[in-house]
Structure 1
Amino acid sequence: MKPKILVFSGSTRKGSYNKMLAALVAKHLTIANADVTTISLADYPLPIYDGDLEDETGIPENAFKLRKLIETHHGIFIASPEYNSSITPLLKNTLDWISRIQLPEEEPLQLFHTSVYAVGGASPGAHGSLRGLMHLRTIMEVSLGCLVLPEMISINFAGKSFDENGDLTKDHQIKRLHKLIERFVSEASHVKLQDN
């Protein structure tokens, strides 16, 4: 089966290293015979989550659109920057809103229990977004119940780690990327999506 994989970055900043990482992962997934959809969270703006706002106006339409994308893909890859040893407010807010959607026939957070997830991050510093990735894993695994692959890619000193074509320059990072892609495509190929 040719798996459908959704790819996006937790940053929408111009020149973002994580947007570069998301594009690189999408390219390699396509080479590995996956059907890849790449999106920008900038195209799905959401207000800061507020319980009173949800009570007054309901869940925003863009949260439902993002939910639909998740439930129609076998795998989801998130490229996550690190902000103050955590994830971006944009990514956290996106996950918070989507997690508020529960259809009448569903168990809580059922949406997150079907697809397989993979994560990676890039930063100009020495840690390569690793602390943010660990926080993201905690949110996704412990709070949302996602299956997140142990393989992940962390790109440190990102300003020197990508060449002019957006490819990685360091052998150990290239090997990690290939290992991630191989496992991700294999696991996503075995996911059975719910009928929509």
Structure 2
Amino acid sequence: MSEPILLGLSGSLRQNATNRRLIREAARLFGAGTFIEADLNLPLYDGDAEEADGIPAEVQILADQIAGAHAVVISTPEYNKGPSGVLKNALDWVSRTKGNPWADKPVAVMSAAAGRAGGERAQMILRSFMVPFQPRILQGPEIHLADSSNEFDDAGRLRSDRYERTLGQLMEKLRAEAGF
């Protein structure tokens, strides 16, 4: 059997965002395999632009990465009580590509946010955004990383054994769901 390919999507574009750190920690705990961090720095969805120019190359790359991955982890910040526009825009663009790269794909959803709820509302909304794509979204254990800027050490590792243990359990379930 080949090594698994894990794709990570962070709803934040900042290089050192806590959601990027969280998907990187998820990849570490997922274990052996190839980890690809998706680039969600895409143009804003515009139906007129799509009609005139077709699907942008960077959107097709993302759709192909989703289709080629054995499993996907998505981490969203919480902006104004919802997921980031960056993440919603990426989902909207990918929905316009041929086929459905999300269909039956094992997906783990998590969130990291400054607030005490750790992005719980954003994660709930993100889960509802995913319904039309029909992936296999794991139901838990849930990861809502609160006060996220204080939850990583200088090496980008989670400080809390509790969060690391829970994320490890989620990645173990994701790996099994992907057949590895």
Does structure 2 retain, via aligned residues, the 8 Å contact 1:76–1:118? yes
Distance, in Å, in 1 between the alignment partners of 2:112 and 2:67 is 26
1:36 correspondence with 2:35: yes
1:147 correspondence with 2:136: yes
1:175 correspondence with 2:176: no
Does structure 2 retain, via aligned residues, the 8 Å contact 1:34–1:185? no
Distance, in Å, in 2 between the alignment partners of 1:176 and 1:59 is 38
State the Cα distance separating 1:171 from its structure 2 match. Answer: 2.9
State the Cα distance separating 1:169 from its structure 2 match. Answer: 2.0
- Listed one character per residue, the Cα deviations across residues 128-156 of structure 1 (whole Å, up to 9, x for unaligned) are 0111111110011x222221111231100
Does structure 1 retain, via aligned residues, the 8 Å contact 2:26–2:168? no
TM-score (norm 2): 0.91
Distance, in Å, in 2 between the alignment partners of 1:169 and 1:47 is 35
State the Cα distance separating 1:14 from its structure 2 match. Answer: 4.2
Query: What is the number of residues matched between the two proteins?
Result: 178
1:58 correspondence with 2:59: no
**2:96 corresponds to which residue?**
100
State the Cα distance separating 1:64 from its structure 2 match. Answer: 0.8
Q: Percent identity?
A: 34
- What code does the residue aligned with 1:28 have? L
Does structure 1 retain, via aligned residues, the 8 Å contact 2:112–2:146? yes
Does structure 2 retain, via aligned residues, the 8 Å contact 1:128–1:158? yes
Distance, in Å, in 2 between the alignment partners of 1:136 and 1:181 is 19
- Listed one character per residue, the Cα deviations across residues 89-108 of structure 1 (whole Å, up to 9, x for unaligned) are 11111110110112xxx5xx
**1:24 corresponds to which residue?**
25
Distance, in Å, in 2 between the alignment partners of 1:62 and 1:17 is 23
Relative distance call for 1:75 and 1:54 in structure 2 (3 A) is same
Distance, in Å, in 1 between the alignment partners of 2:61 and 2:104 is 17
Distance, in Å, in 1 between the alignment partners of 2:88 and 2:65 is 17
- What code does the residue aligned with 1:39 have? A
Distance, in Å, in 2 between the alignment partners of 1:28 and 1:19 is 14
TM-score (norm 1): 0.84
Gaps of 5+ in 2: none
Answer with 13-22 or 75-84: which moved more. 13-22
State the Cα distance separating 1:157 from its structure 2 match. Answer: 1.2
State the Cα distance separating 1:112 from its structure 2 match. Answer: 1.4
Distance, in Å, in 1 between the alignment partners of 2:105 and 2:95 is 15
Does structure 1 retain, via aligned residues, the 8 Å contact 2:64–2:101? no
- What code does the residue aligned with 1:128 have? G
1:122 correspondence with 2:98: no
Distance, in Å, in 2 between the alignment partners of 1:90 and 1:150 is 23
Distance, in Å, in 2 between the alignment partners of 1:62 and 1:36 is 18
Distance, in Å, in 2 between the alignment partners of 1:55 and 1:67 is 18
Distance, in Å, in 2 between the alignment partners of 1:100 and 1:41 is 15
**1:193 corresponds to which residue?**
none
**2:126 corresponds to which residue?**
136
Distance, in Å, in 2 between the alignment partners of 1:85 and 1:143 is 21
Q: SS at the partner of 2:155?
A: coil
State the Cα distance separating 1:67 from its structure 2 match. Answer: 0.9
